[in-house]
Amino acid sequence: MSRHSPPTARIESPRIRRQAIRELVRTTAVATQEQLRELLAERGFDVTQATLSRDLARIGARHVSRPDGGAVYELEEARVASPGDPVVALAGIVRTIAENGSLVVVHTQPGAAQAVARSIDMARFEELLGTLAGDDTIFLAPVRGVTAKRLRNRLADFLAKAMAQP
């Protein structure tokens, strides 16, 4: 630090630090904890790798593979629904979720299967191999070693807000 550089204030609040982490993960392709630690340091946060690791777990961030290679941190947005959340936008559209031992089938209002399938695909479930959407039906295949029942339960949690009310 030069004589003319202002001292950097050290921010200690875990709540403010976690909010900064959320913002960085949402707006920047953060590939490593070290990269994230450096970005936080630029904002006045002096954080150890262990604290950063705990913060990432606490806010629901996960390290996911990208289709173009590499991996980045992202937030599991489905955990905390907000008015702009795609699941909230699907309220009343999903009719049923069922499984037959091999596949999971989601029935939607007519014309809505593509939007629901897109929300499911964006969630990047580890249990899901792929989706196939028609007009009002979505077929979902679990990855090898995951039962259709487990995938159905995971989807039911994710789509709970989208399920049609009786």
Residues whose CB is less than 8 angstroms from the CB of residue 100 and which lie 6 or more positions away in sequence, other chains included:
148
pLDDT at 5: 38
Which fold would CATH assign to domain 14-75?
A: Arc Repressor Mutant, subunit A (1.10.10)
Tell me if the domain spanning 86-162 has CATH number 3.40.47.10: no
Tens-digit pLDDT profile for the chain (166 aa)?
444 434 445 667 888 999 999 999 888 889 999 999 999 999 999 999 999 989 988 888 888 776 667 788 888 653 344 444 455 456 568 888 899 999 999 988 888 888 888 888 888 888 999 999 998 899 999 999 999 999 998 888 887 755 544 4
Question: 10 Å Cβ neighbour count for 7?
Answer: 6
pLDDT at 76: 66
Burial grade of 13 (CB within 10 A; 0-12, 13-18, 19 or more): exposed
pLDDT at 87: 52
Residue type, 45: F
Which tokens belong to 164?
């049609």
Strand partners, 140: 104, 131
pLDDT at 32: 93
pLDDT at 26: 86
pLDDT at 1: 44
Domain boundaries, the chain: 14-75, 86-162
pLDDT at 68: 63
Q: Do domains 14-75 and 86-162 have the same CATH topology?
A: no
On whether the CB atoms of residues 75 and 36 are closer than 8 A, the answer is: no
